[in-house]
Amino acid sequence: MDGQRLSTAIWERAGRVSLEIGRLDRVGDHHRLSGTAIYRGRGGPVELRYRVETDENWRAREVDLDLDDPAGPARLELRGDGQGAWWRDGKPLDLAFPCDDVDLAFTPATNTLAIRRLALEKGQSGTARVLWVPVPSFVARAAEQTYTRLDARTYKFAGSVGAYKITVDRNGWVLDYPGGGWTAAVHKGPKYR
């Protein structure tokens, strides 16, 4: 590992055979979110490995996603310019609006990036324009999500998938995401603020 490990969590998903380990690291002047999710898919076992690099202001800049499922392996590489434009395989994505954040649909971990970038105080709301990436299609699209900070550790999340209360640690690392049934079974961190 390069850099400083800030937080690690293992999430379980209620009602499904599914585990994920996610890590948040500081690397120089930016952050890296990485992890692996394993679950039972429709045709058998699925493994997803992901890496998201941000700039110093928590804007997503690079996304790498590797999928291994019964249909065979697939890879997705997305690159952003830090101003909201994104490219896939060197070709620009036609997005409805610029996207500073990324939301990988299968993990609660990417909500941390928008929470950190928005840096909301209690009672404040903010809108994250995200590049939403579903699995297994990898057909990325622009989406808006709203976060409202209810207290030190709770946010109300509202987006195209519904509205939920998200519980986080003191640094915005998602511990409980009811929308997907995710709960952190094991959590280590945080080492910064």
Q: Is the pLDDT of residue 41 over 70?
A: yes
Distance from C-alpha of 33 to C-alpha of 26, rounded to nearest angstrom: 9
Q: Tell me the average pLDDT of the chain.
A: 90
pLDDT at res. 133: 96
Q: Is the pLDDT of residue 171 over 70?
A: yes
Q: Is the pLDDT of residue 192 over 50?
A: no
pLDDT at res. 188: 66
Q: Is the pLDDT of residue 2 over 80?
A: no
Quick: pLDDT tens for 12-27: 887 777 889 999 999 9
**With contact defined as beta carbons under 8 Å apart, do 179 and 3 qualify?**
no
**With contact defined as beta carbons under 8 Å apart, do 130 and 117 qualify?**
no
DSSP per residue, 97-150: S--SEEEETT-STTHHHHHHHH-PPTT-EEEEEEEEE-TTT---EEEEEEEEEE
Tell me the pLDDT band of 147, cut-offs 50, 70 and 90: very high
Quick: pLDDT tens for 82-120: 999 999 989 999 999 999 999 999 888 999 999 999 999
pLDDT at res. 38: 95
**With contact defined as beta carbons under 8 Å apart, do 15 and 2 qualify?**
no
Tell me the pLDDT band of 172, cut-offs 50, 70 and 90: confident
